[in-house]
């Protein structure tokens, strides 16, 4: 009867242990219950469950109920090997070891004294072997408790006795069942920990994703899971979002729209669309949403990946703005070329007439008015070219500190006494490659803009500094004011040509557009930061070069009359006649030609010397560079002066290198032309920048 009750109790205990394993109860409690089960089933047994150390060479005590504490301390860390007691040997051999008398068994030769000192006379031990296997791995043992060949050892299950004891078949069965239950418990716990670690890694991956993840119940649209980015982007906690519906943060998602999306998802589609999400604080931001359907445990869900597209939209806006500015710049450059030819004639002949007419003549004032209008038109054309980034420039190594210091007094006169001007210059500022005159124009334009933003006074700061980024080293020049600031709408259009917030007639709208074009042409960038009511800051960023600014020698203009012979090639009749007349008035002999081919014929027919060739760069048929090469092949001492109203890129495409060849930019005045001719004879090729008195 006692045996039957014990068997019944054992079955109940086994069922209880299996239930603990199935419910993921703590492993330690399950192992303790398992040892208690064995001790209950085998009379006089003292159970001990040891687990293999991660190093694979030692056993550690996991559950030792009835053994003396001092003995447990001694066997904790028991080595795995042959003749290392019952447990060490069982783990080494991967098979049960039954020692019925420790006093005489050779397996205990090294640990016999320790066992006997603690009253232990017999020890049966069975290795706990892993049941994990690959699909085609062979197995052995009881089909109900299969063991794979070469299975990994998880630990040992042992029972000790105070007297020598031999196992009966029922005892062996109890140990085998205990080993199997221990294996299930240990591997279930390991699998649970691996799953938990995997979940943690997945959660970490999802939470560190830059997109927001939302999992919705497909039927109710209720949010059942979100990642950290979803919470951060909306300003809600995870608990606030779980259980909510889409309309909480996406008011644009109507019922009809959700039904249409659900229908497409049911067909297996992945649905992508743009929307706007609203944060907890009420602010909105653009998003791109990509939704797909999936099923888990028989329930249908929708996974929505939400990407904040604010930065992308800003880049797209910048690209559209750049494309618009480029289109306007091309138009401006083309218009400027035609105007340059017209203004050369208008201003040139006006100068000729003014020099020939007494100042007290009635017509002198009228001609002066025409000349003033021509100067303003020339200045406007120069601004258009600067904006379009196609003006002819002479870049050189430049120190922005030196440039600012040269302009400080002029800036102070421009802004007036009601505005305080301060400079903050970086002592070790790098040099940049730029046209000094154009950068001066940028600074002056920004200063004037700052002045106009502070009609009631304020503070204006011009600062310089070095910047180091992954793409290289840069210099930053900043002009900041404490004025009215700008709205986002104004800031988005501030560099557009002819855009101005000033009353009609008080601004051309080209100042900042010109600054933009000049900086871009210098391979730099200009940006604006502004807060309404607090002020505005414009930053010009230019790449650093490894050169220092060199102060140029001043060359006085020689206005003496000449006597040399000049071959002139110009396809615009009015410009050609103006140049011919201006040169002949100063003593030069001129051979005029309407194009390159005609100029070559004149050169061949002329038996005397020709000292200088003045040629337009772009002409129908033979261009200026080709003409110069042909003529110089026969007259190697010939000087060449190129002129053009075309933009810089057009001139370069026709073979003229502005920084090397003598060049005269249209429009020009007769005085500027003659001065440039003298410079050409002096072999000082450079770009002729018209003085303010000549073009305004």
**In whole angstroms, what is the distance from residue 286 CA to residue 309 CA?**
6
In this model, does residue 684 exceed pLDDT 50? no
**Residue 544: pLDDT band with limits 50, 70, 90:** very high
pTM, two decimals, is: 0.43
Per-residue DSSP letters for 578-590? HHHHHHHHTT-EE
In this model, does residue 204 exceed pLDDT 90? no
**Residue 552: pLDDT band with limits 50, 70, 90:** very low
Per-residue pLDDT tens for 392-441?
566 788 899 999 998 888 788 888 888 999 999 999 999 998 888 788 88
User: Residue 569 in contact with residue 417, Cβ under 8 Å?
Assistant: no
In this model, does residue 101 exceed pLDDT 70? yes
Per-residue pLDDT tens for 150-180?
578 999 999 999 999 999 999 999 999 999 9
Name which of 99, 111, 107 is nearest 82 in CA terms.
107
Residue 214 pairs in a beta bridge with 226, 304
pLDDT greater at residue 343 or residue 78: 78
**Residue 627: pLDDT band with limits 50, 70, 90:** very high
**In whole angstroms, what is the distance from residue 417 CA to residue 408 CA?**
13
Q: What long-range pairs does 287-293 form, CB within 8 A, spacing at least 24? A: 291/261, 291/265, 292/265, 293/218, 293/265, 293/266, 293/268
Per-residue pLDDT tens for 567-619?
999 998 888 998 998 899 889 999 999 999 999 999 999 999 999 999 998 88
Per-residue pLDDT tens for 36-48?
999 999 999 999 9
**Residue 205: pLDDT band with limits 50, 70, 90:** confident
Residue 665 pairs in a beta bridge with 644
Phi, psi torsion values for 184, nearest 5 degrees: -60, -45
* Most trustworthy range by pLDDT among 411-415, 470-474, 563-567: 563-567
Question: What's the pLDDT score for residue 334?
Answer: 67
Return the C-alpha torsion angle 531, 532, 533, 536, nearest 10. 50
């Amino acid at each position: 009867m006692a045996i039957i009750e014990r068997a019944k109790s054992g079955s109940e205990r086994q069922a209880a242990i299996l239930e603990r394993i199935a419910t993921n109860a703590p492993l330690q409690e399950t192992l303790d219950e398992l040892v208690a089960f064995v001790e209950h089933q085998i009379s006089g047994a003292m159970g001990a469950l040891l687990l293999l150390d991660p190093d694979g060479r030692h056993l550690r005590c996991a559950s030792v109920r009835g053994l003396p504490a001092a003995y447990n301390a001694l066997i904790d860390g028991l080595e795995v090997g042959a003749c290392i007691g019952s447990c060490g040997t069982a783990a080494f051999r991967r098979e049960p070891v039954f020692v019925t008398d420790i006093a005489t068994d050779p397996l205990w030769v090294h640990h016999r004294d320790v066992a006997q000192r603690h009253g232990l006379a017999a020890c049966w031990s069975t290795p706990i072997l892993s049941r994990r296997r690959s699909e085609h791995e062979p197995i052995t043992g009881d089909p109900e408790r299969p063991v794979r060949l070469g299975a990994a050892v998880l630990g040992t299950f042992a029972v000790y006795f105070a007297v020598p004891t031999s196992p009966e078949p029922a005892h062996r069965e109890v140990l085998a069942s205990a080993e199997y239950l221990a294996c299930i418990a240990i591997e279930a716990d390991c699998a649970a920990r691996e799953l938990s670690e995997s979940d943690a890694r997945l959660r970490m991956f999802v939470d560190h994703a830059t997109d927001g993840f939302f999992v919705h119940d497909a039927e109710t649209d209720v949010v059942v899971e979100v990642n950290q980015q979803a919470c951060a982007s909306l300003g809600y906690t995870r608990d606030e979002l779980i259980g909510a519906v889409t309309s909480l943060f996406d008011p644009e998602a109507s019922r009809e729209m959700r039904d249409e999306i659900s229908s497409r998802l049911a067909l297996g589609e992945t649905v992508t669309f743009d929307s706007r999400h609203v944060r907890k604080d009420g602010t909105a931001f653009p998003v791109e949403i990509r939704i797909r359907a999936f099923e888990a445990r028989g329930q249908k869900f929708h996974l929505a990946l939400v990407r904040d597209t604010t930065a992308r939209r800003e880049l797209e806006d910048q690209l559209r703005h750049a494309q618009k500015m480029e289109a306007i710049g091309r138009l401006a450059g083309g218009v400027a070329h035609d105007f340059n030819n017209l203004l050369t004639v208008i201003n040139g002949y006006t100068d000729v007439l003014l020099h020939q007419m007494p100042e007290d003549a009635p017509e002198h004032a009228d001609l002066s008015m025409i000349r003033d209008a021509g100067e303003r038109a020339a200045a406007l054309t120069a601004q258009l070219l600067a904006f379009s980034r196609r003006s002819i420039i002479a870049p050189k190594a430049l120190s922005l500190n030196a440039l600012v210091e040269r302009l400080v007094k002029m800036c102070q006169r421009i802004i007036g006494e009601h505005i305080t001007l301060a400079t903050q210059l970086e002592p070790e500022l790098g040099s940049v490659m730029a046209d000094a005159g154009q950068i001066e124009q940028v600074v002056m334009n920004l200063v004037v803009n700052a002045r106009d933003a502070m009609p009631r006074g304020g503070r204006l700061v011009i600062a310089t500094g070095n910047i180091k980024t992954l793409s290289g080293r840069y210099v930053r020049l900043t002009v900041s004011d404490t004025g009215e600031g700008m709205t986002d709408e104004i800031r988005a259009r501030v560099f557009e040509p002819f855009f101005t917030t000033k009353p009609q007639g008080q601004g051309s709208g080209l100042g900042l557009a010109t600054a933009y074009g000049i900086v871009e042409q210098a391979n730099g960038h200009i940006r604006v930061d502004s807060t309404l009511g607090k002020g505005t800051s414009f930053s010009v960023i230019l790449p650093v070069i490894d050169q220092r600014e060199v102060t140029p020698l001043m060359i006085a203009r020689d206005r003496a009359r000449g006597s040399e012979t000049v071959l002139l090639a110009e396809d615009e009749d009015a410009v050609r006649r103006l140049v011919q007349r201006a040169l002949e008035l100063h003593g030069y002999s001129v051979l005029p030609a309407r194009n390159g081919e005609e100029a070559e014929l004149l050169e061949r027919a002329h038996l005397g010397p020709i000292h200088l060739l003045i040629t337009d760069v772009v002409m129908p048929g033979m261009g200026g560079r080709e003409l110069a090469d042909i003529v110089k092949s026969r007259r190697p001492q010939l000087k060449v002066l190129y002129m053009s109203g075309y933009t810089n890129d057009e001139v370069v495409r026709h073979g003229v290198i502005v920084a090397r060849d003598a060049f005269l930019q249209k429009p020009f005045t007769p005085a500027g032309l003659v001065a440039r001719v003298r410079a050409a004879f002096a072999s000082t090729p450079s770009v002729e920048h018209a003085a303010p008195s000549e073009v305004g």
